[in-house]
Amino acid sequence: MLGKYLDKFCAGLRILLGVMMGALAIPVAMQVVSRYTGLIPTYLWTEELATFLFVWIVMIGSIVAVWDGTHFDVRITRNAMRPLPRLLQDGIVHVAIMIFGAFFLFYGIEYTEFGGNQRSVMMRANLAITHISVPIAGGFWLLLSCYRLSEVIAQYLNRESSQT
């Protein structure tokens, strides 16, 4: 049940990623148009807005990739075939991401507060709007990896029970 909700949530994030990628093109394109055509005035905030969007794209993309299991890994060892080694091989990856997620969540809250005390140079935007992406990403890595770990454990238990 939770898996369905998480799947739908990540489907929503995929749509958001596409929209943000399109939105990212707007401020950068505005810079080019204003510099070379003079059709619109030179806005100083475009570079800052593009960087803000960029940070969010990276963080949201990292959440989706944790759910899809598409972060690049290196496979030097063979795939484990027996249930227990398989559980350890897959489970350890999820546990590692959970640890990093917990780190991001815990220290990210302080980092957001730190950002909240600063304003951007051009837009005078409160920097918490980007810094908050750190604990959010950390929290979702933790949640999604936790769910994936529960799936791996359930698979292990199913295989064990079918063998006995």
Partner 1 sequence: MILDTATAATMLIAGFLVLIFIRIPVAFALGLATLPVVLLELRLTPFIVLDRMFQSYNSFILLAVPFFLLAANLMNSGKVTDRLIELARVLTGWMPGGLGHVNVAVSMLFAGISGSSTADAAGIGKILIPAMQKEGYDTRFAVAITACSSVMGVIIPPSILMIVWGGVMQVSVGALFLGGAIPGLMIGLALMATVYGFAKARNYPVTATPNWGEFWAAWKGAALALLTPVFVIGGIVGGLVTPTESAIIAAGYALILGMFVYRTVTPKDLGFILYDTARFAAISLFAIGTASAFGWLLSFYDAPRLIVSILTAWEFGAFGTAILIALLFLLFGLFIDAIPTIIILGTVLMPVAQAGGVDPIAFAIIGIVSLAFGLVTPPYGLCLLISAAIGGLNVVQALREVVLILAPMLVILILLAAFPEIILWLPKTVMPGAFR
Cα separation, 114 vs 116, whole angstroms? 5
Query: Encoding tokens for residue 109?
Result: 């809250």
Question: What's the burial of 138, exposed, middle or buried (CB within 10 Å: 0-12/13-18/19+)?
Answer: buried
Told to check if 40 binds partner 1 by CB under 8 A, we report no
Could you say which of 6, 55, 129, 146 contacts partner 1 (CB under 8 A)? Answer: 55
Q: What minimum distance in Å lies between the beta carbon of 154 and partner 1?
A: 20
Q: What minimum distance in Å lies between the beta carbon of 160 and partner 1?
A: 22
Told to check if 81 binds partner 1 by CB under 8 A, we report no
Residues with Cβ within 8 Å of residue 46, at least 6 apart in sequence:
27, 28, 30, 31
DSSP string, 109-124: HHHHHHHHT-B-TTT-
The SS3 of residue 11 is helix
The interface with partner 1 within residues 110-129 (CB under 8 A) comprises: 110-111, 114
Told to check if 146 binds partner 1 by CB under 8 A, we report no
- Interface residue list for partner 1 (CB under 8 A): 14-15, 17-22, 24-25, 28-29, 31-32, 35, 47, 50-51, 54-55, 57-62, 64-65, 70-77, 89, 92-93, 96-97, 99-100, 103-104, 107-108, 110-111, 114, 130-131, 134
